[in-house]
């Protein structure tokens, strides 16, 4: 069974984040530049929230606010649900589906060590299934009855 730690090990690049006092335009630039749909909000090494493209569209664009003058802290989701490196990916996938999350910050001892997306979870689960199929095929072809 794969864990959050396994999913994080497959990822490359630095942790993408902003501060709650940064303007929404900065969060959007980071999302665009890094081709992600959310960024963590970290103040003084403490996770205080997460902001998504949807947050920016619904809480800034629709009401007619200016992304250059609206602080991330006004639109972020505060105290997001988090997971730990040793948590199983199947549990993360179930939580993400049930609660309609696409991103989960990962904390280890209270420190942010990464973020996993639903795409990361699905890729790792598929990889595990492929390994299981390969193992079963090996057993059937070589080690199984009559092999």
Q: What is the pLDDT along the chain (147 residues), one digit of tens a residue?
A: 689 999 999 888 889 999 999 999 999 999 999 999 999 999 999 999 999 999 999 999 999 999 999 999 999 999 999 999 999 999 999 999 999 999 999 999 999 999 999 988 888 888 777 766 666 667 677 765 555
Between the alpha carbon of residue 105 and those of residues 40, 64, 68, 115, 146, the distances in Å are 8, 29, 26, 4, 49
CATH architecture of the domain with range 4-143: Roll (3.10)
Q: What is the pTM of this model?
A: 0.83
Query: What's the number of CA atoms in the CB half-sphere (13 Å) around residue 78?
Result: 4
């Amino acid at each position: 069974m794969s864990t959050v730690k396994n999913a994080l090990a497959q990822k490359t690049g630095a942790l993408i984040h902003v501060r709650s006092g940064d303007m929404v335009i900065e969060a959007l630039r980071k999302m665009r530049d890094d081709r992600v749909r959310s960024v963590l909000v970290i103040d003084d090494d403490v996770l205080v929230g997460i902001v998504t493209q949807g947050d920016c569209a619904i809480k800034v664009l629709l009401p007619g606010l200016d992304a250059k003058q609206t602080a991330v802290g006004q639109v972020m989701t505060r105290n997001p649900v988090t997971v730990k490196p040793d948590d199983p990916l199947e549990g993360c996938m179930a939580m993400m589906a049930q609660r309609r999350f696409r991103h989960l910050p990962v904390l280890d001892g209270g420190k942010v060590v990464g973020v996993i997306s639903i795409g990361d979870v699905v890729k790792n689960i598929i990889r595990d299934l492929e390994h299981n199929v390969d193992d079963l095929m090996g057993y059937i072809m070589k080690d199984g009855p009559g092999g």
